[in-house]
Amino acid sequence: MTVRVRFAPSPTGFFHIGSARTALFNWLYARHTGGKFILRIEDTDKERNSEAFLKVILDSMHWLGMDWDEGPNVGGNYGPYFQSQRTDFYRQKLQELAAKGRAYEKDGAWWLRLEGARSKVFDDHLGREIEKVEAAPMVLDDLIRGRVERAEDRDFVIFRSNGEPVFHFVNVVDDIAMQITHVIRGEDHLSNTSKHLEIFKAFGVTPPAYAHIPLILKTDGPGKMSKRDRGALIEEYQQRRYLPGAVRNYLCLLGWTPANGQEVLPIEEIIRQFELKDIHQSNARFDERKMAHINTQTLRHLPRETFVSLAQPILKSAQVIDDQVTTERLNEVFAIVQEKVNSLEHLPEFVSYFFTDQFTKDPAALANLTKKGGDPAARLCEILPALETCAWTETDLDAAFTATGLAHQRKATDYFAPVRYAVSGQGGGAHLLGILRLLGQAKVLARLRAF
């Protein structure tokens, strides 16, 4: 059996991490099993769907590297993949149920008829008499939640009086038509599943396997992560120049843990390991710091050429470099800086001192220099003569710091922070002697004197 899974978004809002994670788990399972990943757009609700939201979903999926085997722009043998284009098919399927006596019309709407003994009861909530059905409970052996039993107790609408089919109906009809073998979706749909199983039963079709994945909780507190929470939208990470691979890596960890506990790992390895049975039952908690950490780790381990090809346009658009700055120069700089970079978002401020004298200065770093009676200007005056006459290799520079320390009865390291601040405006960063070597003697002396 070839695995066929689908991601079935309704384009009624921005693409948030919960949806992205559902898409990702489907994609991972398809790639792990050599199956097919189908993208089906559930856009039957005309009022709430928009082209703009659809575009955000497709763009975000591309950005995260989730390619689909069937769906919009790709086609496939089971299309169309937009539910809004399948209305005739849904009507035909409705007629099929009506012919079997499993659907009937009442008050302009079409209802699914449950099987079981019927009785009239007064519903306090609705304030009128309704018909209850003693239907057999639907038993679901969920691949994550285990056994779940639930009985529907009254007929339910599958086609509205305005002629629009109901979500439960089209969802199941398409899972049948598209030969879906596994439904992997958010736990918020668990309570719908008994209705879905009733519809499968009405068609006489064996349902697919189900795997309901746990919720994502917000960073603090008991609530579910909502679209309005900070960090909830995939677009945000795109704008903040996160690496898509790092975001994807983090999303994989929301409800799943790699075998050996190593959390930053290549997607090929995640695909190799990914099994539905290993998805957690308990809810996952969103942790933006962890996502940032994974992004930083991924960034620092990129091959140098890849890093430089990402950095170059960012530095250009921030006007930190112009066309005069060569790729060789960037390679030299990032040979010492890449392992200290935290994010691409803040890269321009972090490296501006290599390329311009108008570099960013960190006030906190300056405050550190003068605290406890520190006198950075005096230290720079002491070291200047040694640097003026120094041969410009890291070995010679190192010797100049040592000699100055000896001459003034100080540690060589007393000179590091003032020199670092004067040439880079920062309190930390790449190896200092490397920075001095790359800046060159003239620039370094000018900046020390300027301070």
CA atoms within 13 A on the CB side of 304: 11
Shortest distance in whole angstroms from residue 92 CB to ligand GLU: 21
DSSP 243-286: -HHHHHHHHHTSS---TTS--S--HHHHHHH--GGGS-SSPEE-
Report how many helices (DSSP H) and strands (DSSP E) the chain contains, helices first: 18, 13
* Piece in contact with ligand GLU (CB under 6 A), picked from 8-16, 331-339, 429-437, 439-447: 8-16
> By CB under 6 A, what part of segment 179-238 binds ligand GLU?
183, 185, 189
| Shortest reach from residue 292's CB to ligand GLU, in Å | 28
Nearer to ligand GLU, 9 or 207 (CB): 9
Closest CA to 293 of 263, 314, 270: 263
Give 206 or 395: the residue with its C-beta nearer to ligand GLU.
206
CA-to-CA distance for 249 and 290, rounded, in angstroms? 11
Q: Between residues 205 and 450, which has the closer beta carbon with respect to ligand GLU?
A: 205
Residue nearer to ligand GLU on the CB measure, 8 or 234? 8
Chain centroid offset of residue 245 CA: 9
Q: Smallest distance from the beta carbon of 307 to ligand GLU, in angstroms? A: 37
Nearer to ligand GLU, 189 or 241 (CB): 189
CA distances from residue 315 to 330, 425, 435, 437 in whole angstroms, order as listed: 10, 18, 18, 21
Tell me, by CB under 6 A, how many residues bind ligand GLU.
Answer: 8
Q: Are 196 and 112 in contact (CB under 8 A)?
A: no
Q: Determine phi and psi for 149, rounding to 5 degrees.
A: -120, 140
CB of 183 to ligand GLU, least distance (A): 6
Q: Which of 3, 4, 9, 421 binds ligand GLU (CB under 6 A)?
A: 9
Position 171 contacts ligand GLU (CB under 6 A): yes
Of the pair 31, 182, the CB lying nearest ligand GLU is at 182
Q: Contact at 8 Å (CB) between 337 and 432?
A: no
Asked if residues 114 and 198 have their Cβ atoms less than 8 Å apart, the reply is yes
Q: Are 120 and 153 in contact (CB under 8 A)?
A: no
Per-residue contact string for residues 16-55; x = within reach of ligand GLU by CB under 6 A:
--------------------------x-------------
Distance between CA atoms of 115 and 199, rounded to whole angstroms?
11
Site string for ligand GLU, 272-311 (x = CB under 6 A): ----------------------------------------
Using CB under 6 A, list all residues that contact ligand GLU: 8-10, 42, 171, 183, 185, 189
